[in-house]
Amino acid sequence: MKLIELRKRNNLSNYFIIISFIIFQSCSSKPVDAKPTDAQHSKNSIELLRNDHRSKKISNDEYYLYLTFAIFSPESLPINYQGTVGPKDGTPVIMEVKRAFHTLNPENQKIIRQWIRPLPRKPTKRNP
């Protein structure tokens, strides 16, 4: 009888040791942070463009053309603007480009039109 009780206790202690080991391993191992190896890919293209546009380093035409490239064709951007684009940057940028579309030169409008269709002009009110 004592032998059976001793065997049951040893079985439970083995399970306890195994479970303790698993818990210890899961608590002690931390995930390694994935850091970009290239500093260029850590830059946000949209923010770089906005900063240069605010400081008048690039013209309106270049700014809106590059914004379009940043969303639809990032490899077409100049090297100094190539970087990441946030997951929620697309729609606001497209709307911004659409609002400014009529102010751009025809050559840039033609390029942008490949990806973005401009908003129709607002209808004028009719006088009865």
Contact 70, 103 (CB under 8 A): no
pLDDT score, position 91 = 86
Question: pLDDT digits over 89-120, tens only?
Answer: 788 889 999 888 889 999 999 999 888 876 66
User: Would residue 11 count as lying in a domain?
Assistant: no
Pure H helices in the chain = 2-28, 45-54, 60-72, 90-100, 106-113
Overall domain count for the chain = 1
pLDDT band at 15 (very low <50, low <70, confident <90, very high): low
User: Would residue 75 count as lying in a domain?
Assistant: yes
pLDDT of 72 above 50: yes
Question: pLDDT digits over 49-64, tens only?
Answer: 999 999 999 999 999 9
User: Would residue 30 count as lying in a domain?
Assistant: no
User: Would residue 80 count as lying in a domain?
Assistant: yes
pLDDT band at 39 (very low <50, low <70, confident <90, very high): very low
Q: Quote the tokens at residue 48.
A: 């770089």
Mean pLDDT of 15-23: 69
State which residues form the domain around 86. 40-113
Mean pLDDT of 14-34: 65
User: Would residue 105 count as lying in a domain?
Assistant: yes
